[in-house]
Amino acid sequence: SVSAFPFEKTLSDFDFDFQPSINKAQLLDLESLRFIEKKENILFFGPSGVGKTHLAVALGVAAAKKRYITYFISCHDLIMQLNKAHAENRLEAKLKHYAKYKLLIIDEIGYLPIDKQGANLLFQLINRRYEKNSTIITTNQPFSKWGEVFSDITLANAILDRLIHHSSIIKITGPSYRLKGKVELLEVR
């Protein structure tokens, strides 16, 4: 029931003192996985390096340990897979496949632009998962920029609506952990 995590990290590997904008109690509560039973989503917002993927993976690892079928994929790869299936006339099977995961983690929405076709395919998947299974997303773009990310404001809003309706939103505003202890080496920051 484990799948495709870029690394295996847990909440105990996370230094909450370094990122005070995160409510540790909220994350520990999410780790109980009640959100999966309630078919709720989790949306991680924040700039690069603040721990979005780490936290998403930590919850995914916890879910997989409890034998919830879990899958981790970048938004770019997911849309590539859906596009390929569409071109090969097997979109329906592919949508069914991705819809069935109890927990699907879609990483890095907004790092690369998504064309209208990609937005449409992602909408179809999110619509199928809506109120049926849990989805975790990470994104570096605020809601207000999603119209640009998806090249289509209506599709962006439709996707966001369904993600947000039953969700925990975790906005991280802090320094990049990747630059920890190195910031003084950078001249401009």
Which residue ranges make up the site for ligand ADP (CB under 6 A)? 9, 14-15, 18-19, 46, 48-54, 138, 177-178
Q: What are phi and psi of 142, to 5 degrees?
A: -65, 160
- Please tell me the distance from the alpha carbon of residue 140 to that of residue 108, in angstroms, as a whole number: 7
Pairing of strands 103-109, 134-139: parallel
Q: How far is CA 109 from CA 9, 37, 61, 142, in A?
A: 21, 24, 20, 11
- The least distance separating ligand ADP from the CB of residue 69, rounded to whole angstroms, comes to 23
Tell me how many residues contact Mg ion (CB under 5 A).
Answer: 1
Decide if residue 53 touches Mg ion (CB under 5 A).
Answer: yes
171 vs 164: CA distance, rounded Å = 13
User: Out of Mg ion, ligand ADP, none, which partner does residue 162 contact, by CB within 5 to 8 A per kind?
Assistant: none
Give the distance from CA 36 to its chain's centroid: 14
Beta bridge pairs of residue 136: 42, 105
74 binds Mg ion (CB under 5 A): no
What are the two backbone dihedrals, phi and then psi, of residue 73, each rounded to the nearest 5 degrees? -150, 145
143 contact choice in ligand ADP, Mg ion, none (CB below 5 to 8 Å, kind-dependent): none
Q: How far is the CB of 178 from ligand ADP (least distance, A)?
A: 5
Closest approach of ligand ADP to the CB of residue 159, in Å = 20
In the complex, minimum distance from the CB of residue 131 to Mg ion, in angstroms, rounded to a whole number: 27
Which segment (23-31, 48-56, 122-130, 144-152) binds Mg ion by CB under 5 A? 48-56
Q: Which residues bind Mg ion (CB under 5 A)?
A: 53
